[in-house]
Amino acid sequence: MDRIAIVEKAKDYIAKERDPLFRKEVEDLLADSSPAGEKELLDRFYRNLEFGTGGLRGVIGGGYNRMNTLVVKSATQGLATYLIKTFPHKARAGALSAVLAYDSRHYSAEFAEAAALIFAANGIKAYLFSGLRPTPELSFAIRRLGCDTGVVVTASHNPPKYNGYKAYWNDGSQVIPPHDGGIIDEVNRVTAIKEMGREEALDKGFLVIIDKEIDGPYQDMVKAALFRPGLIKERAAEVKIVYTPLHGTGALHVEKILGDLGLQVITVPEQREGNGDFPTVEFPNPEEAPALKMAIALGKREKADVVMATDPDADRFGIAVPARGKPKGEEYTLVTGNQMGSLLADYIFLSLKELGRLPANAAMVNSIVTTGMQARIAASYGAACLECLTGFKWIADLMRRCDTGEISKKIVFGTEESYGYLVENDVRDKDGVSATALTAEMTLYWRSQGKSLLDRLEELYGISGYWEELGISKYFQGPEGPAIMAGIMEEYRRNPPLTLGGIAVEKVRDIKAGRWLYPQAGGGAREGEALELPESDVLQFYLEDGTVVSARPSGTEPKIKFYASCRAPVGAGGLQAARAEAARKLEAIGRDIRAVIGA
């Protein structure tokens, strides 16, 4: 796109944007003729910020390729139009409704209210939370209020300069086909935005402020999902929990729920309040070890039994626990998302079985890049492990299909490797709040059996083999980034490697093409059987030793992600030998991947 076209787009944006700060940013860039200014102007207007299948996510700022009030309003107008066309009878009766929540990021409250007022202007009643609320509570609210859609303004665990906008459907899950495509089409067609002022929307009943009428039932639901409230009541004093919400939304519910259960919760004071700058962490992500540094330091001082963290919108959850063989408070071990999902799966199946409530058709769901260990745990209880694409909306879709009888299974747990867990049925997205409560109970249960969480994890390795995972990511910023990532994926498709880490690649699952591929010695691949999964830009390499390596461009960030899941049997050499064998394989696989992407 040449400079004349960029300038025209910038002037068009200035004419439409009502927020003075965002408008001035672009005005200043138009007046800046420096190379840096020209580059920044290009980046803000060379494309429109794409409304993808999960909504919007981008850097906050003025411009069509940024997160700002105009972009949020336009997206909401498209969503409102799609709702009206999809439910014409409800629209004519004035019965459509939406609920909106937001986290602690910069402009989250402003973006949420702007979206609510667009719904109101389109005759759609908008329920708006009065303050910060977690993403899982938004999902719960959609179902409890019977809304047709929902929006949460969050960029999850991204750095402070980002914000985002996630759209939900009437079952409380993020939108999937065909609705995602229909919404995207309407968003792309928006030329005029209907608007209404706050006072008018309140007076006409199209804007309703909510808080306690959802907070209380949500907290009650989390507590009702526990298995052994009697055990917690009896032994709560035995467990000390250190918790951090990482400057996000989690403290409101985590402190109240765990406190109601009688558990001692010590929240990291410097990270308790919402703060979009996330001043004490580089990335507010419990997947990243540095994000738990302050919480672990407090855990050591307090000799905590478990250190817990939720990300800013409290859908992700991570923990650290006292290291085995060390005095409590001396050293802590981080538990990975795959390990946590395995522990929770085991505890849920075990508890349902012990309490006589395990359905004959019980199943859990995990994503295709999650550890294979969980399928073996489910099988040990006579249950199934269903797989789906990456993203909790696909777990929610399988839950919906089971609810309607399309699939004859009863879902009791959903998880994905990126620290997402769903332990109840009243939310259709990952829920870090409920995960804190169940993890506290699980900690107490295994203590009552004379074991720690790490003791139980080692027992599970003895049953299913030792599993270890590797993740590699690389960012490709700027206009050329998407093309570079697409080129990497296409080259893998045209010429899949014969080996990874020195281990033969037996077959490749190409989920974008919907086919199995079989690498050929002379280059290229033979096409095989069709797949049943929905289309997605994912490649999975199945190695002859059972290791699975997956590659996919992120749907929310300009980066390509690789996952490797490796199993080593626990034989005569014991767990130590199995760990060494898995580490050796993953190191070699990682070298091959980095050689391709330059990481």
E strands present in 477-558: 499-500, 503-510, 515-519, 525-530, 539-543, 548-553
Residue type at 142 in one-letter notation: I
- Whole-angstrom distance, CA of residue 374 vs CA of residue 465: 11
* Distance of alpha carbon 181 from alpha carbon 145, whole angstroms: 25
Give the C-alpha distances (Å, rounded to integers) separating 76 from 119, 149, 167.
7, 11, 9
Distance CA 348, CA 351 (A): 5
Spatial CB neighbours of 292, under 8 Å, sequence gap ≥ 6: 244, 286, 307, 309, 318, 320, 334
At residue 272, what are phi and psi to the nearest 5 degrees? -75, -40
Are residues 82 and 72 in contact, defined by beta-carbon separation less than 8 angstroms? no
3-class DSSP state of 480: coil
Count of beta carbons in the 10 Å neighbourhood of residue 84? 18
Structure tokens at 373: 């260990």
Q: Are 207 and 126 in contact (CB under 8 A)?
A: yes
Does 351 qualify as catalytic in the annotation?
A: no
Give CA angle at 221 (220, 224), nearest 5°: 85
Two tokens, residue 369: 């890049």
CB-CB contact of 579 with 568 (8 Å)? yes
CA-to-CA distance for 205 and 225, rounded, in angstroms? Answer: 34
Contact 582, 567 (CB under 8 A): yes
C-alpha angle 337-581-307 in degrees, rounded to nearest 5: 25
Structure-block tokens of residue 521: 């010695």
Tokens of 496: 């899949």
Q: How many helices (H) and strands (E) would you count in the chain?
A: 20, 23
CA of 47: how far to CAs of 30, 41, 167, 170, 318, in Å? Answer: 17, 11, 21, 31, 36
Q: Is 285 exposed, middle or buried (0-12, 13-18, 19+ CB in 10 A)?
A: buried
Which one of 97, 156, 418, 452 is the catalytic residue? 156
Number of Cβ within a 10 Å radius of residue 212: 8
Query: Do 198 and 117 meet the contact criterion of CB atoms below 8 Å apart?
Result: yes
What DSSP string runs through 117-147? Answer: HHHHHTT-EEEEESS---HHHHHHHHHHHT-
Which sequence positions are flagged as catalytic? Answer: 156
